Amino acid sequence: MTRSLHIKAPAKLNAALSVGPPTDDGMHPICSWMLTIDLHDEMTLTSLEPDRLSRYAIMWHDDALQRRDIDWSLTTDLAVRAHQAIERHVGRPLPIQMKLEKRIPLGGGLGGGSSDAAAMLRGLNELFELSINDEVMEKIAAGLGSDVPFLVRGGSAMVEGTGERLEHLETIPEVHAVLILPEMGCATASVYRMLDDMDPTAVDASAVRSLVRSGFDTRRLFNDLAEPALEVGVGLRAIRDELAELAGSPVHVSGSGSTLFITCDDAVAATALSARITTTMGLATIPVSAIEQGKGILSSPS
C-alpha cells in the first residue's frame, strides 16, 4: 500500500558566519549561527511498490518570486543524493515518487538545495518507518553538504567544522527580516575562490558565540563571505548601497549570496519595508520570520 507525505523544506539565514582558509582537502572550516525562516520549498513523497524504480520531478512553485532554469542533472541534485545516501545506510531500496516545488531562489545563499536534502531524509525516515534518530540523520547529512546537517532539525544552532558539529540552541530569537532577491546569482564556488584570494584568517568562533550570548543584534551581524559575494555578484554592491540608503539600516548578505536581508522590529514593519523596496527599486522581496522547524514539519498532502 502506498503512502504520501508532504514536507516543508525551510530556508536558512546566517546571523553570523566566520570562515577559515581551506584545509588540505580543500574544505573551508566555518563557525556560524544559523536560523531557519518561514520561506520554504515543498516536497511530496509517495512510496512505491518494492519492485518499482524511483522517479523525481523538480519544478518551480506557482508563487515562486524568482525562477532560474532547473538545468542540472538529477544525479547531482542534493535531494536525490540524500535519497541514495539513506538507501545505502539501510541497505535496501526505498522506491519513491518525489515532487519538489521550489520557492527558495537558486544561488541565493539561503540553503534551498541543502534543505531539500534534509527534507528528503526526514521524509524517508517517516514514510518507511526507519526509526533513524536525529543524530544519525545528521551524520548521514554531513556527507551531502555543510548546511544539510543543521537543516535536519533546523531552528537555531551553532554550526562548526564543515557543518558536522552542531550545538542546537533552545531559544529561537524573535527575528523579522526582509529578503531582497537580486536578479543575479552568486556561484558558491566562485565566492569561496574570491575569499581565498582575500587571504582569510582563522575561524573566529568566539565572535559567533559572543553574538549568540548577547542576542540577535542587527548591528553586530557579520558574514565573512559578504565581501567576496559583493565582488562576485556584478552590480550587487550598488544594490546593497541603495538599499542601505532607502532603509536607513544595515544590509546583510545571506550566506554566499546573492540574497540580501534587512532586519526589522516586527512582522508589520517587515511587510511595509518589503513593499517599499519593491515599489521603489523594482526588486523581488519577501518578509520572513525565524521559525522552529520542529517535528510538525511532516503532514499528509492536502
Distance CA 294, CA 9 (A): 12
Is residue 256 within 8 A of residue 186, CB to CB? The reply is yes
Catalytic residue among 41, 116, 147, 224: 147
Shortest CA distance to 190 belongs to which of 161, 230, 150? 230
Answer positive or negative: Cα dihedral of 271, 113, 295, 137: negative
Any catalytic annotation for residue 99? no
Q: What pLDDT was estimated at residue 302?
A: 43
Q: What pLDDT was estimated at residue 296?
A: 45
Q: Show Cβ contacts of residue 220 under 8 Å, excluding neighbours closer than 6 positions.
A: 211, 214
Q: Where is pLDDT greater, at 281 or 71?
A: 281
Full set of structural domains in the chain with CATH: 4-172 (3.30.230.10), 176-290 (3.30.70.890)
- pTM here? 0.92
Q: What pLDDT was estimated at residue 70?
A: 78
pLDDT digits (tens, 9 = 90+) for 252-270: 999 998 999 999 999 999 9
Mean pLDDT of 99-128: 94
pLDDT bin (cut points 50, 70, 90) of residue 74 is confident
Is residue 108 within 8 A of residue 257, CB to CB? The reply is yes
Q: E strands, the chain, where?
A: 4-19, 30-47, 55-60, 96-102, 156-161, 165-168, 176-181, 222-223, 252-253, 260-264, 284-291, 298-299
Residue tagged 545505502 (cell numbers):
88
Residue type, 77: D
Catalytic residue among 8, 12, 41, 77: 12
Distance CA 198, CA 227 (A): 9
Any catalytic annotation for residue 147? yes
Mean pLDDT of 104-128: 94
Q: Is the pLDDT of residue 299 over 60?
A: no
Q: What pLDDT was estimated at residue 64?
A: 87
Q: How much of the chain, in percent, has pLDDT values that exceed 90?
A: 80
